[in-house]
Structure 1
């Protein structure tokens, strides 16, 4: 029996994910407000890449509360709280409205939603800087229903999709591409 897609994604992207986590923590994003601003710039740039996905009607029909999962505005508000500029677009947006390919988009959303699940630790680190869900760390705050429940709703919908083997592989490739993109953004903003 084949493992659910969410479990295969975790297994097939684990090394890339771990490498990214180590790089982010090596940058010490919670050492001070200046570093946290850099972290917010990374978050904003990545979520700007995904913005079109959250408004896509096909994806919205497949994934629960998709538009409400978009954290771009909250990250923008966090930047504004800290008098940090919105990072300039670099022209590498992987998705354009009306031209979204489902399998890679699912992989990118898996990475974004997984980062929300893992943000509980980051939210506590932001609190040490005096930030919270009302100021500077909105995008790290948990969902009112709970992080785990929110994640399970997403992965349940993902695992319930009927995809071919080739489409599954493209979802995994999309997740790897998303992790690689975040890594590149960390390198840029923490250089």
Structure 2
């Protein structure tokens, strides 16, 4: 249900972001990672601090993306941006799960994009893919565990869907503001 309910927002963001095709060089890759950092920093901090989400996802700490994202930026010689995006309301566990769905779902596409970066961009980009492929060979199992947690905590599906849609919209707005979208 969540996938179907967010399909339009997901495809729109994906189309506007244009990955991996827009990654023609290191400057393009740096710009995308800087934009992602500005959004993921406040969102991940809020998700990590959410007690209901911690209970729903016991492996929440292992799902952190910011350390890898910061390391990727440093490897590419780019400063970690200080600007931070506004994020959706995460007042309930259902809403936190909706936002987490967007972040976790991105890891599936990120694996393919990381292969493109490794194959086409010059050094040091091939090593700077921790954000795109944070789970390595565990992407599939991590996604399945997330889906199980989502199904087990399906108390308010309307809130979950609403938060996921708002998260896609907030990410799109932020990346537009940062000049990352086409």
> Which band: TM-score by shorter chain?
0.7 to 0.9
Establish whether residue 171 from structure 1 lines up as the match of residue 172 from structure 2: no
Cα distance change of structure 1 residues 148 and 92 upon mapping to structure 2, 3 Å threshold: same
Shift of residue 35, structure 1, vs aligned partner: 0.8
Shift of residue 188, structure 1, vs aligned partner: 2.1
Cα distance change of structure 1 residues 125 and 26 upon mapping to structure 2, 3 Å threshold: closer
Establish whether residue 160 from structure 1 lines up as the match of residue 152 from structure 2: yes
> What do residues 76-129 of structure 1 show as CA deviations (whole Å, max 9, x unaligned)?
11111112122232462446xxx7422221111000000012211110121121
Please, which moves more after superposition, 118-127 or 82-91?
A: 82-91
Q: Distance in 1 between matches of 2:170 and 2:85?
A: 13
Equivalent residues of 1:64, 1:157 under 8 A apart:
no
Please, which moves more after superposition, 119-128 or 109-118?
A: 119-128
Shift of residue 145, structure 1, vs aligned partner: 4.9
CA RMSD of aligned residues (A): 2.1
Q: Distance in 2 between matches of 1:185 and 1:24?
A: 12
- Count of residues in Structure 1 that have an aligned counterpart in Structure 2: 176
Q: Which residue of 2 aligns with 1:140?
A: 132
What stretches of structure 2 of length at least 5 have no aligned partner? none
Establish whether residue 37 from structure 1 lines up as the match of residue 27 from structure 2: no
Cα distance change of structure 1 residues 140 and 147 upon mapping to structure 2, 3 Å threshold: same
Q: Which residue of 2 aligns with 1:150?
A: 142
Equivalent residues of 2:52, 2:92 under 8 A apart:
no
Establish whether residue 80 from structure 1 lines up as the match of residue 74 from structure 2: yes
Q: Which residue of 1 aligns with 2:50?
A: 56
Shift of residue 37, structure 1, vs aligned partner: 0.8
Q: Which residue of 1 aligns with 2:103?
A: 112
Q: Which residue of 2 aligns with 1:188?
A: 177
TM-score (norm 2): 0.87
Cα distance change of structure 1 residues 27 and 152 upon mapping to structure 2, 3 Å threshold: closer
What stretches of structure 1 of length at least 5 have no aligned partner? 1-7
